[in-house]
Structures are given as C-alpha cells and as structure tokens.
Amino acid sequence: MEQIKREISVMRLVKHPNIVNLHEVMATKTKIYFVMEYVRGGELFNKITKGRLKESVARKYFQQLINAVEFCHSRGVYHRDLKPENLLLDEKGDLKVSDFGLSALADSKRQDGLLHTTCGTPAYVAPEVISRKGYEGAKADIWSCGVILFVLLAGYLPFQDSNLMELYRKISKSEFKCPHWFLPEARKLLSKILNPNPIKRLSIAKILEHPWFVKICDGKQMKVDTETKDTTPVDADAIFMSNGVCAEDKQDALKPVNMNAFDIISLSAGFDLSGLFLEPNHAKEAWFASWKPASVIISKLEEFAKFQRLRVWKKNGGIMKMEGSKGGKNGVLVIDAEIFEVAPSWHLVELKKSNGDTLEYQKLLREDIRPALKDIIWAWLGEEGHLQQQA
C-alpha cells in the first residue's frame, strides 16, 4: 500500500511531455484503478530488438529521456528503474517515461542524505546502488541513462554475463567496449556517464552541454515545456480513505525492511563494492542472523540496552538507536541496529557505531552484546564475510 501511495504522489508531481500522465486514481475496498495516458507506440525496447537505431534517432530519444529525468530530479523524484522496457512511445514517436513503482522522493533519504534501498534491473543498475553504503538517486539514474544510450546506439547491452556475480563485477569496473561505428563524441560521452565512481560521473547539467547531445535532430532544436500547474504532493491517503480503503496498519511501520537478492549478494565477501567508493568500515559494523521474529529481536535489544543503561529510540522499518549516558573518548557512544527481513522466519540484523569511540564499541560488542544476544542468534557474519555459526 505504501508503495502504491508513493507512486501516486510521484506521478502527480511529474507532469511533463515526456512522462506518462496519471489522470485519475479511484479505489474501492478491493481494487485500485489508475486512469493513465494512453501511449499507442508501445515500448522503446521493441524497436531495439529489431537492431540498433540510427544515431539521429537515438539522440532524439536520449534528449527526451534526459529532459524527463532532469525534470523528475528538479521535483525531488528519482526513478531508480530506467530501462527501455519502461520507456514508451506515443503516436508521434515521442518518448514517455513510465513505471514509477520503484521511484523515491527526496524525503526518502536518510540522515546521511543518501538513499539505501537496493533496487532496479541488474543490467541497468549503477554500481554504487548495490554497495549497501548509500547512493545519490540522481547519480544512479544518470548511470541507467548511459546504459540506455549505449543500447540505443549498439543494439545490445554494454554489460552482459550469464553469471550475475560476474555481471556486477563488470559493472563495478565499467568494463565495456564501444563498437567501431560509435563516433568519438558518443564514446567520450558514454565514458563520462558510465564512470563507476558517482562523484566523477557526468551530471545532467554537463550532459545537456555536451557536443554530441546538443546537436539538432530532424532539422530543429527540441524545446520542452516543463511547466506544471500542480507541484505539491497529492494526499494519497485521502484517495483511499475516501473510498473505504483503510490506511496501512500502524504496526506495519515497525516491520523490518525486506532484504532482496541485491542485498544478499552484496553480503558476499567476493562481491563488496563499498571499497570503490568508501573506506572499509568493518570495525564499526557487525551482522548477525536470527530465526526469531523481529519483535523478539527488538525486545532482546531493549533488554540489553536497559541493562547497560543505554537510551533507546525506535524508528520505522525495524530501526533502533541505542545511546550511552556519558561521553567517552570520542563523545557519546551511539549504536544503530537495523533489522532486515530475508524471509518471514529469517532476519539479518546490522549493528553499527554511528558515534563515539570505535574501541569502546568493539569492546562492548565482544564482551557484552554477543553474550547478551546469544539466545536469539543463529550465526554471526564474520569479518571475512562468511556466516560463523553460533556454538
């Protein structure tokens, strides 16, 4: 329900000529109806399956894509699943971005100013998205646009492998080769967009100025009217409540975050991309697996905090914060605990020091936390990335 509400709010914000328009939303007790703009031309993907596009045609679609994505970002919206299957064509042959089901709003960012939900389509996802250290939604979308541009010009994906781990290794190092028919300007643009380091990746502002991008298509410069009458988020709750659909149960706010395949793969010792972007931080983090329900894990953590005289704050999505009562060498020790649901009967818990002295945290973890939680722990995630089963 929350995902549907978010998609409605997002689509009300992004009224743009190159984005599929949401006209109306209606709901009953059992069904939700989206009344959307009818786009006759089908998916851009269908055009690509017939072979690569002419450079002028590829440029036109890429220009329209970048204009739509720039508009989304200006409204604080990050698509997070850009791919040819989600790009539609109208009867005039103009591009329309669709499917905002995985999109995020600016207020989805955590305190570090980054997004943390790992999602997207494997071949189009940016390397930092699966590093599990947080990422900028705008930078991730730009990477996906770069992959789309390559596909439009080449007729095939830049990163391909039947083995998912090998595919992500290629993505993490940006291992791709441009075919011989790519012009130098297009090669340079792609190399700057498909930079695995998001800090050095080309911004949309720079893309808009790039010589290959600004060339005129079909004898005329494209102009886009990006004015929208409604720039305030719609009250999605009101849509459902007014039609007899109950809002989400408040208890669900405490439900742990689901861990998907991207998250599980990223825990592998052989596939840790975090080193590409951030300094290793193993001393500040610890993971353990438990067969116990999230409520039991939370209760056990609260019991430990009470015994240690730590203050506790609960947040939505199975997140807890435990804070010491007195300052240490580097300030007050603060430990964040986040619970991830891999399966209904299996949870992973991340313990992370967000403030205070690292040695103090490690000592508390070794001498107090591990023994106190032994009754609920099935295994610890060891320093080498392998699950160390509890004796």
**Which residues are the active-site residues?**
81
Q: Which residue do the tokens 């609260």 mark?
A: 302
The single-letter code of the amino acid at 246 is C
Q: How far apart (Å, rounded) are the C-alpha atoms in residues 197 and 194?
A: 9
For residues 67 and 356, give the distance between their C-alpha atoms in angstroms, rounded to a whole number: 44
Compute the 3-state secondary structure of the chain and give helix, strand, coil in percent, each to the nearest 5: 40, 20, 40
Instruction: Write the CA distances from 166 to 26, 122, 123, 195, integer angstroms.
Output: 44, 11, 11, 18
The position carrying tokens 């989805």 is 108
Distance (Å, whole) CA 237 – CA 78: 21
Contact residues for 380 (Cβ-Cβ < 8 A; gap 6+): 286, 287, 288, 289, 370, 387, 388, 390
Six-digit token string for 97 = 């971005």
DSSP 3-state of 105 = strand
> Residues near 174 by Cβ (< 8 Å), separated by ≥ 6?
127, 194, 195, 196
Give one DSSP letter per residue of 281-319, joined into a string: -GGGEEEEEESS-HHHHHHHHHHHHHHTT-EEEEETTTE
The helix or strand, by DSSP H or E, that contains position 320, with its residue range, turns out to be strand 319-328
Q: In whole angstroms, give the CA distance from residue 243 to residue 237.
A: 10
